[in-house]
Amino acid sequence: MKELRLDDPESFYNFLRITPPMFDEILERIASFIQKEDTNYRKALEQGVKLAITLRHLQQEIPMPPCNMSSGDTWEDVAEEFLMRWNVPHDCDALDGKHVTIRKPPKTGTMYRNYKGFFSVVLMALVDADYKFLWIVVGGVGSQSDAQIYNQSELKECLVDGSIGFPPPSTLPNDVKDSP
């Protein structure tokens, strides 16, 4: 991890989906909580390695839809739940971003400063009608809008190329024209 971080920050970001300065910020905040002591039987893992393993694991735990849907669920099932629960027809998911407050990383200028006036990273999530995560991305800088993060996301690529598997257009209630 140290070599990857120093020699190829772009690959470091690609592997953990977090920049080296943001990794340092998180590690600084949690290091005392995840520190273990060496024993006669084993040497404790470094806190940075533990954090990297956790971040990598979280990426694998929240895959792109429809892989994250419960066994047998379809987008039509999700849309039906939106209609029944929220009275919103023809909806397969809800997408939004949330600014998570951070301390300003060194030498980043105003990159992490958001429109609300504080420093943040953006967590963007796609959820079903029960608020279950279908997809997340963390790490957009605070100065980015939701639209900018979405336009750079894997989610948009899947929607554009059709690989997400949304159902074909059909009619809305009390309408005769098909809608996507």
pLDDT of residue 71 exceeding 80, the answer is no
Question: Looking at residues 137-153, what average pLDDT do you find?
Answer: 86
Q: Among 71-75, 87-91, 100-104, 174-178, which is the least confidently predicted range?
A: 71-75
pTM value?
0.60
Other CB atoms closer than 10 Å to residue 116's CB: what's the count?
A: 9
Quick one: pLDDT at residue 118? 92
pLDDT of residue 61 exceeding 50, the answer is no
pLDDT of residue 153 exceeding 70, the answer is yes
The Cα–Cα gap between 57 and 40 comes to: 28
Are 77 and 132 contacting, i.e. CB atoms less than 8 angstroms apart?
no
Question: Looking at residues 146-166, what average pLDDT do you find?
Answer: 86
